[in-house]
Amino acid sequence: QVQLQESGPGLVKPSETLSLTCAVSGYSISSGYYWGWIRQPPGKGLEWIGSIYHSGSTYYNPSLKSRVTISVDTSKNQFSLKLSSVTAADTAVYYCARDRYLGAFDIWGQGTMVTVSS
């Protein structure tokens, strides 16, 4: 079955860049679909960060667009998130997910908590 697993530092300093990777197993990213990142601050709701098509086309949340880069590495069957100039407001659980229709997240990773603190 298709599985997604996030990885990356759990602690990032303010003003630095948050970097996460999502490894996909059970499905080849190059075969299709979009692949997305969603975050959830503690005790709050879900926020879409952005999605990438398997070919590399990207779609970002306008409120984060200036700081976000999502890329895909089909050779490693993974995709990545970079969020620059982080502040405490970026502290959240970050999820990666398969995005079937650009806004239809049918398979999710377990999530990884990222804290922004000095």
Partner 1 sequence: SYELTQPPSVSVSPGQTARITCSGDALPKQYAYWYQQKPGQAPVLVIYKDNERPSGIPERFSGSSSGTTVTLTISGVQAEDEADYYCQSADSSGTYHVVFGGGTKLTVL
In the complex, the smallest distance separating the C-beta of residue 13 from partner 1, rounded to whole angstroms, is 27
Tell me: does residue 63 bind partner 1 (CB under 8 A): yes
Q: How far apart are CA 105 and CA 96, in angstroms?
A: 9
Tell me: does residue 45 bind partner 1 (CB under 8 A): yes
Binding partner 1 (rule: CB under 8 A), the pick from 48, 52, 79, 114 is: 48
Tokens of 112: 């990884």
Tell the burial category of 107 from Cβ atoms under 10 Å away from its Cβ (0-12, 13-18, 19+): middle
Tell me: does residue 103 bind partner 1 (CB under 8 A): yes
In the complex, the smallest distance separating the C-beta of residue 39 from partner 1, rounded to whole angstroms, is 11
Tell me: does residue 109 bind partner 1 (CB under 8 A): yes
Tell me: does residue 35 bind partner 1 (CB under 8 A): no
- Stretch binding partner 1 (CB under 8 A), from 7-15, 19-27, 53-61, 76-84: 53-61
Cα 8 to chain center, whole Å? 11
Residues that bind partner 1 (CB under 8 A): 36, 38, 45-48, 51, 59-63, 95, 100-106, 108-111
